Structure formats: C-alpha cells, structure tokens
Chain A
C-alpha cells in the first residue's frame, strides 16, 4: 500500500478505520450527553464523554481503541482553537453588557485569573512528591 507521497512504508489507517475512530469518538460524546442528562446537567455532555473515554482507555481492550481513535482525535485537537472562534466572537455582541463597568470587570478578571494560575501552580509544586524535571 502506498500513500500520496508514493512511499510504501507502514500502511496508513484505512478510511474505514478513520470512520470507525470518528464514530467511536462521537459515540462517547453521545454517551456523555446521556450521562449529563441523567445527572441533571451537572457536567456538559462533551466533558462527561471525555471522562468516559479516559475511563474506557484504562480497560483491557484499550490498545485497539486507542489505535482507532488516535488519528481522528489528533485532527480534532489540531483544529480545537479554530472551533473556539465562533464562541469567542459572541463577545462582539455581549461586550456591551460589561461596558458600563469595564474597568472594574477588566481588573477583577485579570487579577482573578493571575491568582488562580499562580495558586494552582504553587500548590501543585509544593505538594507534588518525587517530581522530576520535565524535558519536553
């Protein structure tokens, strides 16, 4: 089997495998939506689906599952920032809600974010046992 570049090394995933991987990801999304509804929308469906997939990947058959979802998942992660643009673009309309108090809101948001970031990193740094340095 040869790919577009004409190399005939290891065969790429077939279209059927990519379709199967995409279907599996969507199935976990669907399962997440069901779990979300059953638990009174405590977590959004996609996040519940992500947690279910993490759990499934710890089960015995997970090597095959991982191989199937890897390519489509990697593609979805690559386009994730682009997918957030329309949600962020809602600010073009909703910024007016904050306009009257923009300085207070801006300061509160920036300082609040900074504290949240710094506290999380500092506490994890203090409590993390046997930390080795990360090399990548």
Chain B
C-alpha cells in the first residue's frame, strides 16, 4: 500500500506545480492585458502547460497525475455551488417556470443550430454525435455520448471548447446584445457553457455565478433527456 502511494506521490508533484505556476503566470498576463476577455486564465493556463510540455519534450502522461489530484477536488467544489444558489433561492423559486422554459429553449436552440452548421459542412456522424452533448457539463456529456454510441473523447473535447468559448466571450456578447441584468447573463452562461462558464461567472460576480450554477444542472438534465431521443432520429 505505502509503496503504491509513494509511486503515485512521486509522479504528482510535477503536474501540481505546473498547473499552479501556469495559473499564476496566466493571472499575471490577464492583468497585463487589462482583463481582456481573450485573456481567460483557464485558456491561458492550458496554453502555458502545453508550451512547457512541448519545449521540454515531455509527454502529457507526466502531467496527468498531478492534474488528477486537482480534479478530485472538483467534486466538493461543485457541491459548494449550492451556496450561491441558496443566496438567490427566493428569486429562483419565484421564477421557476420562466427559468426552466428559457433553459430548455436555450439548450434545444443551441444544439439545433450547432447541427445545422455542422451539417452544412458535411462533418462525419461521429463528430455530429459529439456536438449534440456539448452544452451539458463534461461528465453528463460523456455519459450521454456513451449512451448513444458516440465517442466519449470527442464529446469531452467539444464540451470543453464550448465552455471556454462561453467563458471567454459571454461578457462581450452580453454587452453587444444589451443584456445588462447579471441574473440573465448567469442563466444564459450556465445553460450554454456549463461549469467552465460558471467558474468564470463566479469570478465576475456572485449573482452571475449563482444563476449560472442554478442553470447548470437543469441544462444537463435537458441534454440527458433529449439527446438520446432525438439524435438517433436525426443522424443522416
């Protein structure tokens, strides 16, 4: 037992330090660029990690154990999202029907338009399946993809990219569309960009974070319910 743990711990430090150091540098770059939306710390950290691994010709496997140690903490961190939801619970309960309708239509609309664009470009069915699950949070997306016989790795990849797109651009788009109410911003962010968007929302404002966190599981449930029914019918 002790030896197994020792072996694991020997391999953990590198990924841990690399992630933390990349985060520090990413936050520095974010400050330098004056909080420009393109300077998303998650995106920058990933690019920095990639640059370090490449310049020292290290495999991703040398990074992974340390990364997985942080991923474990994602469990309690997602549970902790109950806190901002609780603080906005009266509004959420009073407006439950409008919120559910908005999240449902946002989920369906997003999937439908994604598919139309992808079909115009004639992408293979394997990628189409992965695209259908991408608004749900990664574990849901992966499970749904598995259920309909799609590639889980592809589903995870499209989901992560979707989350980053949302985190990077939601403030800019909200300004463009004149969505000033942070509750609406959060709701739309959590529906369209799952936990990666929610993490950005919480950093920006507690209200955005709360509504994003509330939308997150609901959008996930809609995806889990609708995709297995409709995707097999619609696959070309």
Contacts and interface: CB of A to CB of B under 8 A. Distances in A.
Interface in B201-216: 202-203, 205-207, 209, 213, 215-216
A73 B78 CA distance: 9
A13 B83 CA distance: 17
A99 to B, nearest CB: 10
Interface residues of A, number: 77
Contacts of B215: 120
Secondary structure dominating the interface of B: helix
B17 interface: no
Interface string B45-65: 110011001000000100110
A112 B164 CA distance: 13
A115 B173 contact: no
Secondary structure dominating the interface of A: helix
B46 A124 contact: no
A61 interface: no
Which 9 residue pairs spanning A and B have beta carbons closest together? A116-B110, A86-B67, A120-B106, A112-B114, A104-B121, A127-B98, A46-B78, A124-B102, A116-B192
16 contacts: A29-B75, A43-B220, A54-B89, A69-B83, A84-B163, A85-B22, A86-B66, A87-B138, A89-B50, A103-B121, A104-B117, A116-B110, A116-B135, A118-B188, A120-B187, A128-B98
